[in-house]
Structure 1
Amino acid sequence: MTALLKTLTVPSGDAVRTLLPTLHRLLDGSSPPLLPVPAGDTRETRRLTDALRPGEPIDESIGLVVATSGTTGVPKGAQLTPAALRASGEATHARLGGTGAWLLALPAHHIAGMQVLLRSVLSGTEPAVVDVSRGFDPGLLPDAVAAMSGPRRYTSLVPAQLIKALDHPGARAALAEFDAILLGGAATPASVLRRALDAGLKVVRTYGMSETCGGCVYDGVALPGVRVRVGEDSRVWLGGSVLASGYRGLPDHPAFADSGWFRTDDAGVLDDGVLRVLGRLDEAISTGGLTVVPQVVEAVLTEHPSVREVAVIGLPDERLGQRVTAIVVAADGAIPTLESLREHAAAALDPTAAPRELHVVEALPVRGPGKVDRRALVARFS
């Protein structure tokens, strides 16, 4: 049977708590299917509604249609059932040690932020909220965390937020109060993870996407009810109780062609049940006939003392096909040089992976819930 997909306007700041009764009905299956859109952002709302068509029929078993952040500019809508969303929340609490109070510091129309609200409903708690409608201000964390009740407290962040918080003494101390900080949306540089652990933060690295109700692999280990496999081409596949019921309006999409599995665009290695994600297959750089995975190079370059953040992209090159290019946010007081970065990368990787071009920027562009917008960087520096 079918129902009509309805728009769920998601406010920012404290007003987001008004959604909790609706989300309670969603989880118990008594709500119509909903498409979250951001209040006050008419451009993004139009982009989502044009692609995902609220007001038109949809299978009544669907609870949420959550837009992927996408790399093409055209969002796909992951169709998530109440059962899948419940399975995700319950598996998260089982892995973390029980239900608790949650702090929302992410846009709630994306899956990571929406899951903070849904986990709050499952916990029977009301979330604390840090307003990120004008960007993330780590100075707001101390008061927000101090107002939270126990016995367990959790939050979800993206790496860019954690980097800002680590540089703010009050925010760093506030984050140390959490029983777990779920960190996802993008790869976490090893240097940032070390800083967080040295500061006493209980960071849990998560891997997942809208198509799996958000993070479903924690610190490399699948949550209860989640299945992981890696194909011969190193592609990561995910399945289990958290899996979406396909994409809105795309019943034959190849990502869901293998029944019960979702084909990701990520390369990975599965070693004794522990998944290590190497990077996106569609972002690999072909240079001089060899393949370079940007995330592998980034992991090395973030260890350089002059680098605060870095993105590695491939730019067109007549001789090589593509040349490896580093886009760097410099560490405080540092002046990165191409020569030093090349030497640093070549000491750990094949010399082919060492950057041949360097650009220093004040900030890296992001899309969705905190992923670096590589397409924007390629367009800017090509």
Structure 2
Amino acid sequence: MDLTQGLHRAVQQQPDAIMTICGPRQRTFREVADRVARLAGALRGLGVGSGDRVGILALNSDRYSEYLLAVPWADAVLNPVNIRWSAAEIAYSLADCDTRTLFVDDAFAPMLPALRADVPGVTTVIHVGDGPTPDGALDYESLIAGAAPVADAHRGGDKLAGVFYTGGTTGFPKGVMLSHANLATSWLGSAATGCLPTADSRSLHCAPMFHLAALAVWGSTLLMGGSHVFVPSFKTVPVFEAIAAHGVTDVLVVPTMIQLMVDDPAIGDHDLTSLHAVLYGASPIPAAVLERAMKVLPDVTFTQAYGLTETAPIVTVLTPADHRRGLLRSAGRSAPHNELRIVDPLGAPVPAGTVGEIVVRGDHVMHGYWDKPAETAAAIRDGWFHTGDAGYLDEQGYLYVVDRIKDMIVSGGENVYSAEVENAIARHPSVAQCAVIGVPDADWGERVHAVVVPQAGASLTLAEVREHVKTLIAGYKAPRSLELVEALPISGAGKVLKRELRKEHWGAAVRQVH
């Protein structure tokens, strides 16, 4: 299979059905296919060759979707750039995999001078915005209008589809090499659960499309022949408006987005009756937030997917039926395309209920990290990809993710998993968001430290948090120190950047890298 297969199938079966909606623009599958063929022709005319990396630094749009199709159509390789990164981080990812052609929209055009200075290898810039074309850039629509369509290269199978950079939550980002077969395996295997978009779906893309979870929803919707609605980025009211205006049925969000949606009083001002399914993932969700979301949206099904960039991305799925059964702390069971184990530090499987490292195997696992053979060999051992996540399986095969292994806190000789403590703290009515980290302690080695964003107008003390937590979990896991903040540092994928929280506590100490 290849990334363009869903488009060809839709053109054959429903050419005049709506494929994309972005603001006032609506295009059919037939129209999109013609534009993609012309854009691919333009890329070839600009010198893009087989296997060349082509980047995009842009907010969500129908043009982003066309980029995802035109690059493989032209026999090239995707490099979607993390929009939350600094210019220096973006420059690193472009230079690391020798990206020479870059799509940029209006939001990121001001970065071009710095990027050109830092990455002289980027020789071609294509402007995909609606504003004035920056100096030295080519206009996207003019390229399409002036190019002849070319035949699809049908770059597929084990050929490289894209280089997708990790979020860098625990260190410098690495370029994950995923093939067309990696992505198709994950999308089809996940669709087989019945929890991803179908042919009747109208999927809203509000999570950033550089992220593999968003790409999975885009890809599965395309494969099934559904349609796509794009908003530039996540903001609650525009999301509500898009759902109401376009009859959106499916949406992917991360836990922080769910919380913002259900806590926004404006949610009651919009007709959201078309919405049938919410897919969430990318980071753990406090059970209290999920319970509140299920009450606010009682007619909507909820599905959780756990995965990583290196697994293209889906590993496990917690189905709507599992949610109704109250399994809200679980990340679900292995998807059909994935094999899952929990192992000890030597790589041996451990019994059900025992915490160990989550390892996975299957045709969705990456080919490796770009130009990093040592890191690849460390991550994939004896055919198993080692996730770096700690978890356990129950007797029915449900996975419970308890922490990043490097985030585990060792306090007084006891292992404390931050996710468990965060779930307990989040149930306090005065807590809006929280993160738990280990900080240095002369007596305990490390102590459990809570960083909390209070609800608007609320106040909290350490004593209140400790007493609340001890009603839910063992007392030694309760935080021994508390920090109140206005906001938590969040990565482009919606994950809390715990390394940023640790900096002021650990300084140059070794633990800082965890």
Q: Secondary structure at the match of 1:363?
A: coil
- The aligned amino acid for 1:158 is V
| 8 A Cα contact 1:52 1:76, kept in partner | no
| 8 A Cα contact 2:174 2:370, kept in partner | yes
Distance 2:277 2:305 in 1: 11
User: Which structure has the highest strand share of the two?
Assistant: 1
Q: Aligned pairs, how many?
A: 371
Worse overlay, 81-90 or 205-214: 81-90
Distance 2:256 2:334 in 1: 24
Residue 257 of structure 2: aligned partner: 161
Quote the offset at 1:60 in angstroms. Answer: 7.8
Quote the offset at 1:347 in angstroms. Answer: 2.7
Distance 1:224 1:65 in 2: 25
- The aligned amino acid for 2:428 is H
Residues 52-71 of structure 1: pairs in structure 2 closer than 5 A: 52-54=97-99, 61-71=159-169
- The aligned amino acid for 2:242 is A
Distance 1:372 1:217 in 2: 21
Correspondence 1:227 to 2:339: yes
Residues 189-268 of structure 1: pairs in structure 2 closer than 5 A: 189-199=286-296, 200=298, 201-219=300-318, 220-233=332-345, 234-252=356-374, 253-268=376-391
Distance 1:247 1:266 in 2: 18
Distance 2:472 2:260 in 1: 28
1:94 to 192, 214, 217: 192
Distance 2:237 2:66 in 1: 30
1:270 to 374, 379, 393: 393
Distance 2:215 2:404 in 1: 24
Correspondence 1:19 to 2:64: yes
Report % sequence identity.
Answer: 31
Q: Which runs of 5+ in 1 are unaligned?
A: none
Correspondence 1:308 to 2:443: no
Residue 35 of structure 1: aligned partner: 79
* Deviation sequence 1:297-332 (CA, Å, 0-9, x none): 111111112211110011112222112111111123
- The aligned amino acid for 2:305 is T
Distance change >3 Å, CA 293–CA 163, structure 1 → 2: same
* Deviation sequence 1:21-42 (CA, Å, 0-9, x none): 4433567x76312211257964
Correspondence 1:7 to 2:88: no
TM-score (norm 2): 0.67
Distance 2:317 2:75 in 1: 30
Residue 235 of structure 2: aligned partner: 137
Worse overlay, 205-214 or 109-118: 109-118
| 8 A Cα contact 1:222 1:228, kept in partner | yes
Quote the offset at 1:118 in angstroms. Answer: 2.4
TM-score (norm 1): 0.88
Residue 341 of structure 1: aligned partner: 465
RMSD: 2.6
Residue 375 of structure 1: aligned partner: 499
Distance change >3 Å, CA 378–CA 83, structure 1 → 2: same
Q: Secondary structure at the match of 1:378?
A: helix
Quote the offset at 1:381 in angstroms. Answer: 4.8
Distance change >3 Å, CA 170–CA 91, structure 1 → 2: farther
Distance 1:25 1:343 in 2: 57
* Deviation sequence 1:17-74 (CA, Å, 0-9, x none): 12334433567x7631221125796444213123333369xx9811011111123441
Q: Which runs of 5+ in 2 are unaligned?
A: 1-48, 101-120, 122-156, 319-331, 346-355, 507-514
Worse overlay, 245-254 or 80-89: 245-254
1:117 to 210, 213, 218: 218
Quote the offset at 1:263 in angstroms. Answer: 0.4
Distance 1:377 1:156 in 2: 27
Residue 206 of structure 2: aligned partner: 105
Q: Secondary structure at the match of 1:63?
A: strand
| 8 A Cα contact 2:50 2:74, kept in partner | no
Quote the offset at 1:94 in angstroms. Answer: 2.6
Correspondence 1:85 to 2:161: no
